[in-house]
Homo-oligomer: A and B are copies of this chain.
Amino acid sequence: MLNSRHLIDLDHYTLEQIDDILTLAKMIMNKPQYYTDSCHGKVMATLFYEPSTRTQMSFQTAMLRLGGSVIGFDNPVNSSVSKGETLKDTVRVVSNYADIITIRNPYEGAAKAASMYSRVPVINAGDGGHLHPTQTLTDIFTLKETKGTLEHLTVGLCGDLKYGRTVHSLIKTLCRYPGNRFVLISTKELALPQYLKDIIVETGHQFQEIDHLTDAMPLLDVLYMTRIQQERFTSKAAYEQQKGIYVLDAPKLARAKYGLKILHPLPRVDEISQEIDDDPRAEYFNQTEYGMYARMALILHMLDGSTKQLDTIPEGDDKHYCCNPKCITQTEKYLPPAFYCHKDILVCEYCEHAVDRE
């Protein structure tokens, strides 16, 4: 199942591959002028089935700064999809035009599905609430450059830990490095799912849960802030009452270590007060620049030695089916059902939701 020709899930890459990419990203950052023409003559397609200007601009800039060029769309109504075309057909065709494809799609598993029909490498730029691996690559490159290491860090994660896919991916990745501790800062309703707590423990790491950001501040080497959407609270009253607890402002920051680094996947709304934007511990704007270099390195890594080819489509597992309504298999009916076993539970290979065995 693991196919490092594409980047669907950062977990599919070995630590050695990840380290290679981070090392290359640093080399590019130090001497960008050496890489100005590295992708001369190459074309990237950005297939954005839902708009995400920020992410799309980051990928476009990365490709353009390597001397490549970019085609694509940012709006499903303008695409052939609106004429009823399948994801498969779109990808088959676009992979004839482009040398590498970046795809964002609201359905979970869409990037994996796309990779099955692409003659060129596919990068997952977000498949619904499932994965967003280049954000995680951005996050760990920022950590590595600002903290000097990915090991033995005390990492606070604040906000929506239940639904936040960037939080989940970051925890899973940091659990592959030794000695990290996690401080989980959220309401009970938005606590980290149990399966991720299990991963932390099983990989020999520790976590603690704290209600208030204020209490957590002195402990942290890293603070990863995320937006809490108002809709996530049980009531508007609960939102109004609690939201300040999870807003990072100057008084809370005053309790932090000198070497703290603050990250945020952006866009932020008001969970970080603007008064700390120019504090040297605020790395969330710089993070976007690290992300650009990380994506440049990723593109170079994936194009290196890449040849146009179609993967073999495996036989489908006709005995089971995925009932996650947001799974790409719900809308693209030709996709062969595929599952893997995790702790006696059958999991859909596309969206990674558990399947009830029949």
Contacts and interface: CB of A to CB of B under 8 A. Distances in A.
A236 B242 CA distance: 56
Contacts of A149: none
A277 B92 CA distance: 10
Contact of A69 (B33, B51, B64): B64
A84 B41 contact: no
Interface in A289-322: 289, 292
Interface residues of A, number: 51
Interface stretch (A54-62, A202-210, A250-258): A54-62
Interface string A25-53: 00000000100100011010100000111
Contacts of A85: 266-269
Contact of A33 (B41, B83, B89): B41
A203 B128 CA distance: 56
A264 to B, nearest CB: 10
Interface stretch (A15-23, A94-102, A158-166, A177-185): A94-102
A180 B98 CA distance: 35
Nearest to A33: B41
Contact of A36 (B41, B61, B79, B89): B41
Interface stretch (A70-78, A108-116, A191-199): A70-78
